[in-house]
């Protein structure tokens, strides 16, 4: 069975679920936004690195996935990769999606997320001051694409679209 970028085999493991296939390329932009596929590939790379560094393994069966693994992955993301709390939880959220699929298809009997607590922190958004916005307006870019992005951003600031 194929789902997104994952192939689920009889003995499901992370490599089975995170193997590359043409299906992800074909579905990019159709079923999934290109950014979604890119973000999954980033999480996939982090998982592979984490398994290699922490467990000295290339793969992990889904039945071995437990709360301790999730807590270790969360801690690793925050300390080694210097992810903020919300970014680390976003990686965990992508793993949760895979686990949900495995549970729904009967590949997992129990949910390893039971007992895992992760809480999003409210982010403090800051706004540009009028002086900062004016300085940005005056900034000239040599690259036409960046000039266009700047113009769209400044426009969105003035119209309330940002």
96 and 49 within one domain: yes
SS3 content of the chain, % helix, strand, coil (to 5): 60, 5, 35
Closest by CA to 117, choosing from 89, 81, 95, 80, is 89
Furthest-apart CA atoms within the chain: distance in Å: 61
- What is the tally of structural domains in the chain? 2
136 and 99 within one domain: no
Task: Round to whole Å and give the CA distance between 41 and 19.
Answer: 10
145 and 81 within one domain: no
> E-assigned strands of the chain?
2-3, 6-7
> E-assigned strands of 2-140?
2-3, 6-7
Average the pLDDT over each of 40-44, 50-54, 91-95, 123-127 and give the range with the smallest value: 123-127
47 and 92 within one domain: yes
Q: Is residue 119 part of a domain?
A: no
Q: Is pLDDT larger for residue 119 or for residue 30? A: 119
Q: Is residue 60 part of a domain?
A: yes
Q: Is residue 113 part of a domain?
A: no
Q: Is residue 109 part of a domain?
A: no
Q: Is the pLDDT of residue 61 over 90?
A: no
What DSSP line would sit under 43-59, residue for residue?
A: HHHHHHHHHHHHHS-S-
Highest mean pLDDT (candidates 5-9, 40-44, 118-122, 148-152): 148-152
Q: Is pLDDT larger for residue 11 or for residue 32? A: 32
Task: Round to whole Å and give the CA distance between 149 and 124.
Answer: 24
Q: Is the pLDDT of residue 147 over 80?
A: yes
Look at the block and give the residue holding tokens 């398994």: 51
Question: What mean pLDDT comes out for the span 127-137?
Answer: 93
Q: Is the pLDDT of residue 67 over 50?
A: yes
86 and 8 within one domain: yes
Reported as a pLDDT band with limits 50, 70 and 90, residue 16 is: low
pTM above 0.75, yes or no: no
**Residue range(s) defining the domain that contains residue 136:** 130-159
Question: What mean pLDDT comes out for the span 109-134?
Answer: 89
pLDDT of residue 11: 44
100 and 143 within one domain: no
95 and 16 within one domain: yes
66 and 6 within one domain: yes
- The answer to whether 121 and 113 have CB atoms below 8 angstroms apart is no
Angle between helices 67-79 and 34-55 (to 10 degrees): 100
- The answer to whether 24 and 2 have CB atoms below 8 angstroms apart is no
pLDDT of residue 68: 92
Task: Round to whole Å and give the CA distance between 96 and 87.
Answer: 14
Q: Is residue 112 part of a domain?
A: no
């Amino acid at each position: 069975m194929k789902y997104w970028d994952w192939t689920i085999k009889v003995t499901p493991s992370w490599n089975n679920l995170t193997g590359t296939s043409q299906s992800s390329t074909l579905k990019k932009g159709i079923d999934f936004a290109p950014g979604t596929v890119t973000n999954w590939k980033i999480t996939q790379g982090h998982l592979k690195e984490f398994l290699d560094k922490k467990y000295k393994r290339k793969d992990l069966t889904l039945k071995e996935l437990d709360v301790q693994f999730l807590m270790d992955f969360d801690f690793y993301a925050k300390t080694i990769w210097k992810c903020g709390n919300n970014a680390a939880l976003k990686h965990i959220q992508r793993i949760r999606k895979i686990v949900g699929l495995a549970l729904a298809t009967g590949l997992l009997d129990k949910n390893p997320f039971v007992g895992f607590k992760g809480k999003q922190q409210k982010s403090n958004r800051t706004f540009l001051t009028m002086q900062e916005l004016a300085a940005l307006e005056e900034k000239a870019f040599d690259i036409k694409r960046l000039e266009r992005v700047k113009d769209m951003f400044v426009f969105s600031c003035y119209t309330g679209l940002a």
